[in-house]
Structure 1
Amino acid sequence: MVDADQTFVIVGGGLAGAKAAETLRAEGFTGRVILIGDERDHPYERPPLSKGYLLGKEERDSVFVHEPAWYAQNDIELHLGQTVDSIDRAAKTVHFGDDGTQVHYDKLLLATGAEPRRLDIPGTDLAGVHHLRRLAHAERLKGVLTSLGRENGHIVIAGAGWIGLEVAAAAREYGAEVTVVEPAPTPLYGALGPELGNVFGELHREHGVRFHFGARLTEIVGQAGMVLAARTDDGEEHPAHDVLAAIGAAPRIGLAEAAGLELADRAHGGGVVVDERLRTSDPDIFAAGDVASFPLALFGTRLRVEHWANALNGGPAAARAMLGRDVIYDRVPYFFTDQYDLGMEYSGWAPPGSYDEVVIRGDAGKREFIAFWLKEGRVLAGMNVNVWDVTDPIQQLIRSRTRVNTENLADPHVPLDSLGA
């Protein structure tokens, strides 16, 4: 039973934490809600950092989840620029801030997110080496790309994943020269496999991006604190004025680990282990967003999902679970990207090795198609490229676990919603 004397604490000032706070109030919780974030900015959404805001097409204020006044209006105690140092599970307290503030919690939500993985090579201390995770990173990188475009400068991007490719697209739109270094044989190899990764490779080549596959950066060369070039393990050297490390993100588990909460192994993406209610190994502590490793019966595995939709939906689900509602978090993973004139949505989960067939509906050459990843005739994932309003039927196909006729699946004239019945 939840009452007005209870205190719910949320650690993490991103989308998951902000939406959890919003949901607590929307569901009628009248107790204290304390939201602690280690950034000085109000909670914001991250997709614009590598898309609209980075491109200069969206204003800075558009990234924020709520207007700043919303928090006081809804009696959310907001502590920005504050780091939580520890959790005392026995006393049910969190300690944060320079003065060691201690607050009691009845329920605690960890929405600590993830942090960019760092390049462990010489030269990463140079001024022109960048990461992209926070609003401050995006502001800095936006200025860098503007300058590179004006001066015909060159950026080397380590990693051909979503962030790497979105920044490559932005850099080319600014007019910068771009080289992407990637150890896999295609872009997005871990997400899309070799069959569809090449679609994005060709897209970027058409826009002037150079790729160097099968290689890793080994050194960033500089002079007087500035970047001059990036070297790879196969002996190549690429001229560069700036370097972006886009080699993935790691869940921020330090706080949970120190508190003795159960953690997922690397095979399941790491992160904090939660059950289908997003509850950790401590029944009064929950986790959501990038840091949470949750069970998804649909795929018979445990997943940690680093995408916007997981934070958007996971925060509210955790809030309802904290209130004692009957919650089962089993959303089909979903993400999207925008690169040049290509818009894409992806639903499901089909890493390389998990599927035995890829079916294309439409024209991949024109980049207007839907791709389906199947295992034994059942759809594991679907990706629509410049084809819209099909997410619901794609997700229904995934959820149905129905064997589909692949000829019908590939035929644009056969309605998708007729295949999963």
Structure 2
Amino acid sequence: MVDADQTFLIVGGGLAGAKAAETLRAEGFKGRVILVGDERERPYERPPLSKGYLLGKDDRDSAFVQETAWYARSDIELHLGQTVVGIDRASRTARLGDGTVLHYDKLLLATGAEPRRLDVPGTDLAGVHHLRRLAHADRLRQVLAALGRDNGHLVIAGAGWIGLEVAAAARHYGAEVTVVEPQPTPLHSALGPELGQLFTDLHAAHGVRFHFGAGLTEIVGQDGMVLAVRTDDGEEHPAHDVLAAIGAAPRTSLAEAAGLALVDRAHGGGIAVDASLRTSDPDIFAAGDAAAVLHPLFGIRLRVEHWANALNGGPAAARAMLGQKVAYDRVPYFFSDQYDLGMEYSGWAPPGSYDQVVIRGDAGKREFIAFWLAEGRVLAGMNVNVWDVTDTVQQLIRSRHQVDAQVLADPGTPLESLLP
């Protein structure tokens, strides 16, 4: 039973935390809602950091989840620029870095993820960057503009989504770009080799140089500034700035210190939660990038680091905290915009999980839908410059219905006709 005397504490000032707070009020919770974020910025969304804001097309305010005044109107207590340094589960309290102790009846960990760091000499140089926070985007936007003006060179370590989106932004400003990637194609772990080549060709057509099958071993500098990077195959690439885009790690140290169950890094890491986003402590929940969910649809634990997971996971956790029945079974979804290519991806099909990739449409013109299948069942779908099909693609994934690959590949056959 939830009453007005209860306190719900949210640790994490990102999209998941903000949407959880919003949902608590929308569902009629009258108790105390406290949101603690370690940044001084109020909660914001992360896609603009590598998309519209970084490109200079959107203003800074477009990233924020709510206007400043909304939190006061909604009676949400914001503790910004504060870090939770410890949780005492027995007393149901959380201690902040300034010594403040907050009591909670229910606690949500929406602690997110942090960029993985390059473990090579030279990472302390002034021109080495990460992109995770709004302050990073503020700085990187200025850097890319300066590189474009001065014909400067950016080296990006990692050809994942962040690496490729920043590469596109850098070319938009006119900077020279080299991407160093240990795998044979971009997005290898997300899309497999079948679709990775598409993104190689896309970026190469816009002047990006790739160096595949290699990793950085050193960032060379002089007087504190970047001059070049070296790779483990003996190559050296000129550079004025370097972006480390080698993935993100879930922020689980607080949960670990509190004795909550975690997932091994070999299996994706994160805070272990059930389908209701409840941790091993019945009064503590987790959502967003840090949560590894026992997914009802896929039957495995999934930790998804994308915008839609924060957008939907925060509200789901809030409802579960209120005692509502929750089964968080959203189909993973993400989107990307690079040059004139827009895409949406739904599902979960890491390399090794599928036995066939079916293309529907014209891949050469970059107008198609790709499907990843296992034994005739659709595991994932990616629409490239084809729109208004996401709902149907997700229904195909949910149905687990076997489809005929030839019919699936035929643009003349309505996708809806393949649903059971």
TM range (shorter): over 0.9
Amino acid at match of 1:60: R
- Deviation at residue 337 of structure 1 after TM alignment: 0.1
Q: Does 1:240 pair with 2:239?
A: yes
Partner of 2:53, secondary structure, is: coil
Partner letter of residue 361 of structure 1? R
What letter is aligned with 2:330? R
CA contact (8 A) 1:109 1:286 kept: yes
- In the TM superposition, what is the alpha-carbon distance from 1:267 to its structure 2 partner? 3.4
Give the C-alpha shift of residue 295 in structure 1: 1.1
Quote the Cα distance in structure 1 between the aligned partners of 2:267 and 2:121.
30
Q: Which amino acid aligns with 1:96?
A: L
Deviations 1:280-316, CA, capped at 9 Å, x for gaps:
0000000000000001132221110000000000000
With the length of structure 1 as denominator, give the TM-score of the two structures.
Answer: 0.99
Residue 317 of structure 1 aligns to a residue whose secondary structure is helix
- State the partner residue of 1:315: 314
Deviation at 1:97, TM superposition (A): 3.3
CA separation in 1, counterparts of 2:412 and 2:264? 44
Give 2:269's aligned residue. Answer: 270
Report deviation, 1:268.
2.7
Q: Does 1:415 align with 2:414?
A: yes
Tell me the secondary structure at the aligned position of residue 320 of structure 1.
helix
Q: Distance in 1 between matches of 2:20 and 2:84?
A: 18
For residues 317 and 378 of structure 2, the distance between their equivalents in structure 1, rounded to whole angstroms, comes to 28
Structure 1 stretches lacking a partner, 5+ long: none
CA distance in 1, matches of 2:248, 2:229: 21
Q: Distance in 1 between matches of 2:299 and 2:13?
A: 31
The amino acid of 1:27's aligned partner reads E
User: 2: CA distance between counterparts of 1:254 and 1:399?
Assistant: 34
Matches within 5 A, 1:249-328: 249-328=248-327
Cα separation, 1, equivalents of 2:383 and 2:405? 17
Shift, 1:265, TM fit: 1.4
Aligned AA (1:124) = T
- Output the CA distance in 1 between the equivalents of 2:283 and 2:134: 31
Aligned length: 420
User: For the residues of structure 1 that align with 2:416 and 2:116, how far apart are their CA atoms?
Assistant: 40
Corresponding residue for residue 394 of structure 2: 395
Partner SS, residue 53 of structure 1: helix
SS at match of 1:54: helix
Question: What does residue 162 of structure 2 align with?
Answer: 163
**Aligned Cα root-mean-square deviation (Å):** 0.5
Q: What is the distance in 1 between the residues matched to 2:4 and 2:288?
A: 27
- Give the aligned partner of residue 378 of structure 2: 379
**d(CA) in 1 for partners of 2:74, 2:315:** 16
Partner of 2:61, secondary structure, is helix
Cross-structure match for 1:119:
118
Instruction: Summarize deviations over 1:246-267 as a string: whole Å, max 9, x none.
Output: 0000000000000000001123
Residue correspondence of structure 1 range 335-374 to structure 2 within 5 A = 335-374=334-373
How far apart, CA to CA, are the structure 2 residues paired with 1:213 and 1:405?
35
Query: In the alignment, what sits opposite 2:149?
Result: 150
Distance 2:295 2:392 in 1: 19
What residue identity is the alignment partner of 1:97?
G
Q: Distance in 2 between matches of 1:162 and 1:268?
A: 20
Distance 1:64 1:6 in 2: 28
**Maintained 8 Å contact 2:6/2:31:** yes
Structure 2 alignment gaps of length 5 or more: none
Deviation of 1:366 after TM superposition, in Å, equals: 0.4
2:275 and 2:296 in contact (8 A); partners too: no
Distance 2:290 2:90 in 1: 23
Tell me, in whole angstroms, the C-alpha distance in 2 between the residues paired with 1:302 and 1:417.
29
Residue type matched to 1:140 in 2?
A: R
- Which whole-Å deviations, capped at 9, do the CAs of 1:82-130 have from their partners, x for residues lacking one? 00010000000000132x0001100000000000000000000000000
The aligned residue for residue 133 of structure 2 is 134
* Secondary structure in 2 matching 1:61: helix
Distance 2:60 2:238 in 1: 32
How far did 1:386 drift? 0.1
**1:319-348, Cα deviation, whole Å (9 max, x unpaired):** 000000011100000000000000000000
For the 8 Å contact 1:268–1:304, the answer to whether it is kept is no
Q: Superposed, which structure 2 residues align to 1:95-244 within 5 Å?
A: 95-98=95-98, 100-244=99-243
Q: Distance in 2 between matches of 1:85 and 1:185?
A: 41
2:365, 2:186 → 1: CA distance? 18
Match of 1:20 in 2: 20
Q: Does the CA-based 8 Å contact 1:44-1:64 persist in structure 2?
A: yes
Q: In structure 1, what residue type is equivalent to 2:124?
A: D
Q: Is the 8 A contact 1:268 1:293 kept in 2?
A: no
In 2, Cα distance between the equivalents of 1:41 and 1:402? 45
Contact 1:344 1:384 in 2 (8 A): yes
Distance 1:31 1:142 in 2: 41
The aligned residue for residue 93 of structure 2 is 93
SS of equivalent to 2:52: coil
Q: 1:20-75: CA deviations, max 9, x gaps?
A: 00000000000000000000001000000000000000000000000000000000
Runs of 4+ in structure 1 deviating by more than 4 angstroms, as ranges, are none
1:408 positional shift: 1.0
Counterparts of 2:295 and 2:91 in 1: how far apart (Å)? 32
TM-score w.r.t. the length of structure 2 is: 1.00
Give the counterpart letter for 1:402 in structure 2.
H
* Secondary structure, counterpart of 1:305 in structure 2: coil
Partner Cα separation in structure 1 for residue 4 and residue 296 of structure 2: 35
Question: Is the 2:50–2:166 contact (alpha carbons within 8 Å) kept by the matching residues of 1?
Answer: yes
Inter-partner Cα distance in structure 1 for 2:319 and 2:266: 29
Q: Distance in 2 between matches of 1:60 and 1:344?
A: 24
- Whole-angstrom distance in 1 between the partners of 2:281 and 2:248: 25
Structure 1 position 83 matched with structure 2 position 88: no
* Deviation of 1:407 (Å): 1.1
* Partners of 1:274 and 1:280 within 8 A in 2: yes
